[in-house]
């Protein structure tokens, strides 16, 4: 159990550092978000008083027949259509965001270390560990990003960047766990 906890801590730190590098140093996330340009002030005024949450427009609840309403189809065709995430006022990177990120990284590293322990007789070499964790990453961690692309209409390029980050992170985690365990 001690080995598992030490591995989870070391792996969690490695994932946290990798995540920081991805988002703050590497350029591939610079185009994930775009500006509204001159429209930003007007949109901000229109959203004043809206509670934090995820909103879509048009929303079927605003139409008498809901999702089957022909007026919804017409509104979708006319546009603009959008997905809006309203966050609470304050800095975008509050300390709690970094703390939650680190805790999620610890959980990921714990799960990966447990997986390596459980498959120990079959997964011994560094390459096997890298292949195991990157395969699990592609299989499991990519699904939320692909669902965001498909259902939430998030740009595919930004979701592909997240999948890339997660897969490389799992390869790094495999290396760390190989040497710690």
Residues 6 or more apart in contact with residue 115 via CB below 8 angstroms: 132, 133, 136
pLDDT for 121 beyond 80: no
pLDDT score of 90: 87
pLDDT score of 59: 95
Maximum distance among all Cα pairs of the chain, rounded to whole angstroms: 61
Q: What is the pTM of this model?
A: 0.81
pLDDT score of 152: 85
């Amino acid at each position: 159990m001690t080995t598992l906890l030490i591995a989870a801590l070391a792996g969690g730190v490695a994932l946290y550092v990798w995540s920081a590098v991805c988002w703050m140093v590497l350029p591939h996330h610079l185009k994930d978000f775009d500006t509204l340009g001159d429209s930003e002030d007007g949109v901000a005024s229109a959203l004043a008083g809206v509670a934090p949450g995820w909103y879509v427009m048009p929303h079927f609840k605003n139409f008498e027949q809901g999702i089957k309403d022909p007026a919804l189809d017409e509104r979708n065709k006319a546009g603009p259509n959008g997905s809006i995430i309203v966050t609470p006022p304050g800095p975008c990177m509050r300390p709690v965001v970094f703390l939650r990120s680190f805790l999620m990284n610890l959980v990921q590293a714990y799960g990966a270390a447990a997986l390596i322990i459980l498959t120990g007789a079959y997964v011994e070499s560094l390459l096997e560990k890298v292949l195991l964790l990157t395969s699990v990453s592609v299989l499991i961690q990519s699904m939320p990003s692909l669902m965001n692309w498909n259902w939430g209409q998030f740009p595919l390029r930004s979701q592909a960047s997240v999948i890339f980050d997660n897969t490389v992170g799992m390869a790094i985690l495999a290396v760390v766990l190989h040497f710690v365990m």
